[in-house]
Amino acid sequence: MSVATSSFDTKRLAALCLGATGIVYGDIGTSPLYAIKECFGAGGGIDPDPAAIFGILSLVFWAIILVVSLKYVSFVLKADNRGEGGILALQALVSSQGLGTPALLAMGLFGAALFFGDGMITPAISVLSAIEGLQVADQRLEAFVVPLSLVVLVGLFAIQKHGTARVGAAFGPVMLVWFAAIGALGINQIAQQPGVLAAVHPVHGLSFLAADPLRAFHVLGSVVLVVTGGEALYADMGHFGALPIRLAWFGIAMPGLLLNYFGQGALILSDAEAVANPFYRMVPEWGLYPMVGLATAATVIASQAVISGVFSITRQAVQLGLLPRVDIDHTSDEEQGQIYIPSANWLLLAAVVLLVVAFGSSSALAAAYGIAVTGTMAITTIMALVVARHLWAWPRWLCLTLGAALLILDLSFMGANLLKIPEGGWVPLVVGGLMFALMGTWMHGRRALARRLASDSLPIETFLARLPDVPRVAGTAIFMTGNADSVPMALLHNLKHNKALHERVVFLRVVTEDIPRVPARDRVTAEGLADGFYRLTVRYGFFQDPDIPKALRLAKAFGLEFDMMASSFFVGHETILASADDPLLPIWRSALFMMMTRFSARATDFFRIPPNRVVELGAQVRL
């Protein structure tokens, strides 16, 4: 390797590490603002005596080491779907290998559903915890915390439509300054109480758990706050790759976090009253307002990462047939991942504003935080173990041993957070349950619709064998279909009413594969049938957005050229009528599916088909 190439690779790797620091670690990086405070406030309050301080710090340290460093960074990052990560990418990987069972499918859907609950709470608790530093500086500013938080959040959601490319370029440097700053604050306190480092010994955590198991179990529900960004490591793998994420964790994020957590513990050892807000109590008086500004910037970055994640997982769910089509705007011509989904953006903002107003403080919101994260963590562990056993051929004993260890952690955290349900933990569960019901309804509804249409359709071979003697008019008719073997109902309706066929008829089917991206060379396959009839299949990955006119240009390789001004797209528009005939689609689910179809984006917009070249043919379908 030449020196120039080596230098380029090093610079590129450094840039990726900096980007990962900004995007991937925004969520977990802002946890010091509230995590230790909530640990001491758990279960009615923990007295900040040395045994409790050492015990909680020990639990925090080993949670970070075992959950983030061992589970996510060392194990789960290996379970990539052609370089992409995240709960839906993992589920698609399992399904594509024939390993998917109804139970695993349901778990994957519920894990994705819980992510939406997390997406609501993270911006609210992060920004609130940052702005709350004002009341540490001056108690009279307490009344401004909620209004200022709402201003920041509304502004953040309002700029989403403009894209985040320019703002995102500053994410890495800002978070680098953030981790350096919180690490320095921690070092300053540790230097005054170096004995606090003894908390790395697990005996302190075990002794704390054994001394008062019930109270300690409550504390576990707050300890999980230090690892809430673990899923982001996996979900953002496709943007940066596993190596930059690992280097950024071990070289930047983890040292800064651990130093700050131990610094907060050292401060509480010296001053028990600092437990009210140990993060901001570490900051010198002259630096309080600058730190509030830096913390607000860091929490905006953390919120932005979650918002972008909601956009991404919504698109994946749509592509995988789990949610109705939605309008997707691309905010960058160069980066495919830069997308904006108006419906998701404004619904998420409404939910975040409601949470901030209803709960009013980060401590109150902490009760609602954790259940969604721990649920997704446990599901990720199970599915990653399935991949390890069946795809990587790991020995059964190794999978069972590792699985038992990881699931004990995940389920302990989940169980501890279940205690928070009456205090607000019901919020993400309700949101997750609602999203799970919506995704399940859409999936079963589409299957029921496909079965009903197939039962009323005519096989292509039969149609072509009995091809009616009707006039053929100039031009190309492209019929969108979901079944490659049946004649689209739109064609039969067109033939019935117009008594004519175009000189060239194309049956076009769009397929979403269980992989992130389908290369352009594999995008289109074409098959000649008879008498000017053709069958075209266009394939996309679940990270890609359909563009039919662009795909049709690739059909030239098969001898098919399309002039958009001489082509007409025929799209079926089914009006769903509820019925109780299908056992998998009871009347309530059938009615819900019918309502969801009404809110689905138009096929012409979703597939980027020129509106003036579309003919919609309606039909009523009773499920």
Buried b (16+ CB within 10 A) or exposed e, 187-213: ebbbeebeebeebbeeebbeebbeeee
CATH number for the region 14-321+329-424 comes to 1.20.1740.10
Which tens digits make up the pLDDT trace of 423-471? 888 888 888 889 999 998 998 888 888 777 777 778 888 888 888 788 8
- Angle, vertex CA 298, rays to CA 290 and CA 167, nearest 5: 110
Query: Mean pLDDT over residues 104-128, rounded?
Result: 85
User: Both ends of the chain: CA-CA distance in Å?
Assistant: 63
Residue 542 Ramachandran class (φ > 0 left, ψ -120 to 50 alpha, else beta):
alpha
Task: Convert the pLDDT of each residue in 276-298 to its tens digit.
Answer: 899 999 999 889 999 999 999 89
Q: Are 404 and 263 in contact (CB under 8 A)?
A: no
- Tens digits of residue pLDDT in 145-161: 999 999 999 998 988 88
The pLDDT tens digits for 556-571 are 888 888 888 888 888 8
**What is the share, in percent, of the chain residues with pLDDT greater than 70?**
93
Q: Which stretches does DSSP call E strand in 448-546?
A: 472-480, 501-512, 524-528, 533-540
| Parallel, antiparallel or unpaired: strands 501-512 and 524-528 | unpaired
- Supply the pLDDT for residue 337: 55
pLDDT of residue 8: 46
Confidence check: pLDDT of 401 > 70: yes
Whether 165 shows a pLDDT value over 80: the answer reads no
Pairing relationship of beta strands 614-622 and 567-577 according to DSSP bridges: parallel
Q: CA 28 → CA 35, 114, 599, distances in Å?
A: 10, 18, 35
At residue 4, the pLDDT reads 43
553 has pLDDT over 80: yes
Can you tell me the mean pLDDT for 370-395?
Answer: 88
pLDDT of the residue at 68:
94
Check residue 54 and give its pLDDT: 96
Give domain limits for the chain: 14-321+329-424, 451-622
Residue 311 has pLDDT above 80, yes or no: yes
Q: Say if residue 99's pLDDT is above 80.
A: no
**Segment among 36-45, 217-226, 378-387 with least mean pLDDT:** 36-45
pLDDT score at 59: 96
pLDDT at residue 5, rounded to an integer: 41
Residue 476 has φ and ψ, to the nearest 5°, of: -120, 130
Report whether pLDDT(244) > 60.
yes
| Structure confidence at residue 204 (pLDDT) | 95
pLDDT at 589 over 90: no
For 182-203, what is the mean pLDDT? 95
- Secondary structure (3-state) at 283: coil
The pLDDT score that the predictor gives to residue 164 is 60
Question: If we measure between CA atoms, which residue out of 363, 36, 356, 369 comes closest to residue 182?
Answer: 36
Q: Residue 584 and residue 443: Cα distance in Å, rounded?
A: 11
Provide CB contacts within 8 A for 201, sequence distance 6+: 58
What is the model's pLDDT at position 12?
82
DSSP 580: S
Q: Is the predicted pLDDT of residue 184 greater than 50, yes or no? A: yes
Assess whether pLDDT exceeds 70 at residue 3.
no
The pLDDT assigned to 331 comes to: 67
Helix (H) or strand (E) holding 375: helix 371-390
3-state SS assignment for residue 350: helix
Average pLDDT over residues 159-166: 70
Query: Over 70: is that where the pLDDT of 7 sits?
Result: no
Residue 589 contacts residue 445 (beta carbons within 8 Å): yes
The three-class DSSP label of residue 11 is: helix
Nearest CA to 182 out of 33, 59, 302, 37 is that of: 33
Secondary structure of 299-346 in HEC code, one letter for each residue: HHHHHHHHHHHHHHHHHHHHHCCCCCCCCCEECCCCCCCCEECHHHHH
CB atoms within 10 A of CB 500: 12
- Average pLDDT of the residues of the chain: 86
CA 189 to chain CA centroid, nearest Å: 36
Q: Is the pLDDT of residue 580 over 70?
A: no
Look at residue 232 in the predicted model and tell me its pLDDT.
Answer: 77
79-90 residue pLDDT tens = 888 777 888 888
Confidence of residue 579 (pLDDT cuts 50, 70, 90): low
The continuous run of DSSP H or E covering 574 comes out as strand 567-577
- pLDDT tens column, 296-307: 989 888 888 788
> Above 70 in pLDDT, residue 228?
yes
β pairing state of 533-540 and 524-528 = antiparallel
Q: What pTM did the predictor assign?
A: 0.83
Instruction: Work out the average pLDDT over 33-51.
Output: 86
In angstroms, how far is CA 429 from the centroid of its own chain? 16
Q: What is the pLDDT of residue 255?
A: 96
